[in-house]
Amino acid sequence: MTASKDEPMTCEIGIEQVGGRALRVARWRLDEPSDHPPILFFNGIGANIEAVAPLAEAMTDRGFIMFDMPGTGESPDPLLPYNPFTMSWTAAQLLKRFGVDECDVMGVSWGGAMAQHFTLQHPGLVRRLVLAATTAGMLMVPGNPAAFTKMANPRRYIDADYMNEHFATLYGGLDKDGAAHQKDSHIGRLKPPSPRGYVYQLLCMLGWTSAPALPFLTKDTLIMMGDDDQIVLPINGKMLRSLIPNSELHMVEGGGHLFLLTHADESIAKLRAFLDAPEGEALKAA
């Protein structure tokens, strides 16, 4: 079905039964002609589709697909725990369902880890990779302890006053692009995950790291970090850059953990330069 006029999205959205799971899936422009492969997007922990919908809406010249993780947004609770292997397989089955045989993969924060794992597990489906505000998993430099303790509390998705009070501590960054990207806009798009969904998502990456495999990742990769990120410190991006052979690091000045939204103009320009570049020139363009 199509989102109603009261929703901030112009996409096809609904529950899909795939890989033995029921997932709420949003698709932008998959049926429209494009010179570019669609983007498969993996969201941050506890975040629903609406949280990143402005990015999908802005990338008007290509398809875009993302889904709520089990127990997040409007995806039903998972019956059993899952891991990066099973969720990557499920995402691959979802692409097959919609006739996508090649895509650009992007992930932010927790979703950046999933994007790495998906690319390593299904390289034949991936053209280019974008990693935003993320790490190599357990091999990371921890962020601000105050931000981490508040991030672990799902109350940030449930209590708007709590999120408003602790927004700067959680995410850092300045709102470069003005009123359209203010924190109130982001808070208003959030839907709380279920307790089981949140815990299972935390457990999914427990003990996981991509570090030993990243030197064998051959895809052109754009790494984007905010220099004021309180959750994922910028040094983690430098570590990814040193581990991934064909990669480039872009630091968003004044950007916090949500720089894709607060610095949307800069972020989208950088994404377009990287993703639109001819074969063999993506890293030069980035």
Residues designated as active site: 109
Q: How far is 240 from 235, CA to CA, in rounded Å?
A: 9
> In sequence order, what are the residues at sequence separation of 6 or more whose Cβ sits closer than 8 angstroms to the Cβ of residue 251?
225, 226, 227, 234, 237
Neighbours of 186 (CB within 10 A): 20
Tokens describing residue 115: 């994007």
Tokens describing residue 90: 């499920």
Say how far residue 28 (Cα) sits from the centre of its chain.
16
What is the maximum alpha-carbon separation in the chain? 48
Q: How far is 257 from 238, CA to CA, in rounded Å?
A: 16
Q: Are 156 and 170 in contact (CB under 8 A)?
A: yes
Q: How far is 102 from 112, CA to CA, in rounded Å?
A: 18
Single out the residue of 137, 145, 187 nearest to residue 8, CA to CA. Answer: 187
| Alpha helices (runs of H) in the chain, residue ranges in sequence order | 49-58, 84-97, 110-121, 145-151, 155-158, 160-171, 183-189, 195-204, 235-243, 259-262, 264-276, 282-285
Q: How far is 48 from 70, CA to CA, in rounded Å?
A: 10
Q: How far is 65 from 249, CA to CA, in rounded Å?
A: 24
Bridge partners (DSSP) of residue 104 are 39
